[in-house]
Amino acid sequence: MNRVVKMMCAVLLIGVSSLANAFDLQQLSAQLAKPSVIHGDFIQEKHLRALPQPLTSKGKFVLAKDFGLLWLLATPLKQDYRISAAGIARRDAHGWQLLPNKSAGTEQNKLFLAVLQGDSSGLQRDFDLQLKGEASAWQLTLIPRSLLLQQVFKQINIDGGELVQRIELLETQGDSTVLRMIDSSSADSLSDAEHHDFVD
């Protein structure tokens, strides 16, 4: 009888320790928020029900913890965007111009920024979060809570390891967007040109 009790206790302890070691949202947030600067390439595919082939765009990004996100589109057209707490700005011949908050893609870009920066507290205000996996290979599923978001998104899937690697946005109407972050690397600081782009 004593042996059975000991075995049960051992099984319970193993269960508790595995729960204690489970990779959670707080650990994921800390992991994604660790780098000061992240550089990388991206490929974005927009799958529209009306088109047989996805619309593909490519470019580079710079994510800076203290400043925001530079989204430097190279193809099919060249266009630079800056996403920060102040809003979304687009670069033209006269410099950076803030876009109206109601512009298309504004909420989606803010969402990208929250995801890439590991802002799970911000995401939890608007989504139910379900995390699977471990620090080196995880998947985060976002299910919208608010009626407004439910009208746009059915579900958002995010995959990653040390950094975010893939974001999939499944829209209510059947369209979807897949964003792949390629060759991402972290750095301690911005280059002079990058710093200028954020503060200009």
Instruction: Tell me the pLDDT tens digit for each residue of 171-191.
Output: 999 999 999 999 999 898 999
Cα separation of 122 and 141, whole Å? Answer: 15
Q: Are 144 and 153 in contact (CB under 8 A)?
A: yes
Residue 101: pLDDT above 80?
no
List of domains in the chain:
35-199 (2.50.20.10)
Write the pLDDT tens digit of every residue in 109-129: 667 677 777 777 778 888 899
The larger pLDDT score, comparing residue 131 to residue 16, is at 131
Residue 44: pLDDT above 90?
yes
What is the strand order of the sheet 55-64 is part of?
95-98, 87-92, 79-84, 68-75, 55-64, 37-47, 176-187, 164-171, 153-160, 137-144, 127-134
Torsion of CA 54, 58, 64, 65, to 10 degrees: 20
Write the pLDDT tens digit of every residue in 47-88: 999 999 999 999 999 989 888 889 999 999 999 999 887 888
